[in-house]
Chain A
């Protein structure tokens, strides 16, 4: 690991000031991404600003929303009674990722900012436009089984690895931030992550000195009937090959409203609005879900080893909707 300076920030303002003033400085929260990637020289900050001492550890529950401090740990959020009651999909998504040890360390903000698991990103000897701009992409002609089929570009096909983010996309979460100049803003979750396009190293809309302070989950009645289904190579402790977060409101067996977001197959948490709209007014039946799944995967681009993900994602979507509507597919 490269040598670095270490600052323990006493307040959000101090932490953003420190990151703004020092060369190549990064925020450190749970460490499950940053420390991991520093050990293998993928991330090499000159200064690490530890934001763990900041408050930002509260989960505030009101009728309108659940407001989560950036430093709340993944476990703490998943296990919170109000989250389990209002947003079962969020609890299920978080608990399907990693292990208890890692979820106890990783923060909610850090989950949103976690980096791809693309093996070429993680290997400093490989070409990777995301890690080293303009260096190329060894994944496209390489071993691409785990890579994305949606939102890809000729410069990057890295999968966004988070489960929690798929639920956050479904729930229209909001991200509150502050910058060194004191400016605060609220960013819609589905506008937070960027497609790789020709600048895959720009992963989010955040400025370098911008700190996530809170993540807001607005109360939405449809989320009471919601579900997260994750399909992977192992039963536990593995990233998704495909996943689906779904929520639905029925009137009898007619669909009044539906929501869908998918993971494991896209370069960012992937909300499927057109597929959702296709379900409105349809019967809660396998055929409706199949048509929605077809729409959700429209435009998918496969590489040599990941074409199976297109069909797998469709089946995952169908099964997730079938599970919450108790339809037998």
Chain B
């Protein structure tokens, strides 16, 4: 079989132009095909809020939201993101108008050095959507039932946030920040 019989995009070996969409803006980029989404965000687009911690899928510092789902930018080849909606910490809000979760991180002092914080906030932002959808976690006692924000325990939040490491150990305050947003939603 020769190359032309395969209807796929083929460019110069090792490079490709990828139609990325980051925080609602089209960003077509010519990239080395090996580039991870994490490196493209940081090195090509100067969106340095997304952090490189372990770069091997362990720490969660590079968490971004693609098509509504939290994922790890360090294990995502940027070329596979063509046409997808990528949201980073820079696209979440503006300094003048933070999200309720960001305000809660400030209120609860949910960080110390701050390096893992963008990943924590992106992860927790998606967590809130998952809880609103009622989906279970590993510690949910009956997976047949929908979880609710009223019933969500600290243990549930810890389990759902276990993909985000914090070497300063701000975990109790991170859990408190998530809890305070859930409590606020319940009061409404």
Contact = CB atoms under 8 A, between A and B. Distances in A.
Interface of A: 1, 3-10, 14, 17-18, 20-21, 28, 31-32, 35-36, 39-40, 49-50, 52, 73, 75, 78-79, 84-85, 88, 91-92, 95-96, 98-102, 104-105, 235-237
B95 to A, nearest CB: 26
A21 B163 CA distance: 39
A100 B180 CA distance: 21
Given A5-B13, A20-B1, A14 B6 contact: yes
Nearest to B163: A99
A21 B4 CA distance: 12
A75 B162 contact: no
B117 interface: no
Q: Is the interface of B mostly helix, strand, loop or mixed?
A: loop
A104 B123 CA distance: 12
A225 B92 CA distance: 42
A91 B56 contact: no
B56 A36 contact: yes
Interface string B58-71: 00100100000111
A95 B136 contact: yes
Contacts of A35: 36, 75-77
A31 B138 CA distance: 23
Given A32-B57, A92-B143, 4 more contacts: A17-B5, A84-B143, A88-B144, A92-B138
A151 B19 CA distance: 47
Size category of the binding interface on chain B: 35 or more
A79 B135 contact: yes
B8 A10 contact: yes
Given A6-B79, A84-B144, A18 B72 contact: no
Given A88-B144, A104-B69, A105-B71, A17 B6 contact: yes
B80 A31 contact: yes
Contacts of A84: 136, 143-144
A79 B57 CA distance: 22
A2 to B, nearest CB: 8
